[in-house]
A and B are shown apart, each in its own frame.
Chain A
Amino acid sequence: GAVVSQHPSRVICKSGTSVKIECRSLDFQATTMFWYRQFPKKSLMLMATSNEGSKATYEQGVEKDKFLINHASLTLSTLTVTSAHPEDSSFYICSARDLDRASGRADTQYFGPGTRLTVL
């Protein structure tokens, strides 16, 4: 259980184009999903928190107009990198928060396999 998928796994695009990345919770409903960015040999940097049916909450320094997040259903969140530039090249990872079966609290994040974005 608690499987999260991402699509695509790898994308190469030209500078100036927009790229959409999908994150799906396959076997549970996630009211909250998270988007992270990871630079080579670095830890994960939280970009934004996505709540189903409401606007995303962005971390300081993350451009909300550049990284558009939509969480239209309990199992799907999308991240769109608009007008991508080479400095946006990175590994993007999403996660979905699920309930801990024992306590009933939402406290465990399950991660997708990541999307490698390369902007030429």
Chain B
Amino acid sequence: AQSVTQLGSHVSVSEGALVLLRCNYSSSVPPYLFWYVQYPNQGLQLLLKYTTGATLVKGINGFEAEFKKSETSFHLTKPSAHMSDAAEYFCAVIEGAGNMLTFGGGTRLMVKP
């Protein structure tokens, strides 16, 4: 069975500071990993995904994530936070194509001026 853990339900950073949102997963087979962002009263927007190949994945809005198999992690980073990055972020995993998406509990990112 697959599961996803996001450490820290709330993360607060200053504008311009590094953003680090943590995600660890458990999966019995090589997983496909995703990060989604949700702005208030909106659906989820795909930020980036890892399926195969290069373990450092670049996404939209300057975000990137690195798949580390040995650590079973897929942490999301951005070098410099912007006020518009304030939102809810969800890490998700599926165990291979065609299977169900399992979400983490979400991390609310707050950006202070």
A residues apposed to B, CB below 8 Å: 2, 4, 6, 34, 41-44, 46, 49, 91, 93, 95, 100, 102-103, 105-114, 116
Contacting pair A43 B101 (CB below 8 A): no
Number of A-B contacts (CB under 8 A): 57
Greatest chain A CB density within 10 A among B43, B45, B103 is at B43
Known: A43-B103, A43-B105. A107 touches B98 (CB 8 A): yes
Q: Which residue of B lies closest to A110 (CB)?
A: B46
Instruction: For the complex formed, measure the closest distance between the CB of B94 and the CB atoms of chain A, giving whole angstroms.
Output: 6
B residues with CB within 8 A of A: 32, 34, 36, 41-46, 49, 51-52, 90, 94, 96-98, 100-101, 103-106, 108
B100 touches A43 (CB 8 A): no
The A interface, classified by DSSP as helix, strand, loop or mixed, is: strand
Q: Which of A93, A103, A106 sits near B52, CB closer than 8 Å?
A: A103
Q: Are B43 and A43 in contact (CB under 8 A)?
A: no
Q: In the complex where A43-B103, A44-B90, A100-B51 touch, is A107 in contact with B32 (Cβ < 8 A)?
A: yes
Determine whether the beta carbon of B42 is less than 8 Å from that of A113.
yes
Q: Are A103 and B36 in contact (CB under 8 A)?
A: no
Q: List 28 A-B contacts (CB under 8 A).
A: A2-B46, A4-B43, A6-B43, A42-B106, A43-B90, A43-B104, A43-B105, A44-B44, A44-B103, A46-B101, A49-B100, A91-B41, A93-B43, A93-B44, A95-B44, A100-B51, A100-B97, A102-B51, A103-B51, A103-B97, A105-B97, A107-B96, A108-B46, A110-B46, A111-B36, A111-B44, A111-B46, A113-B43
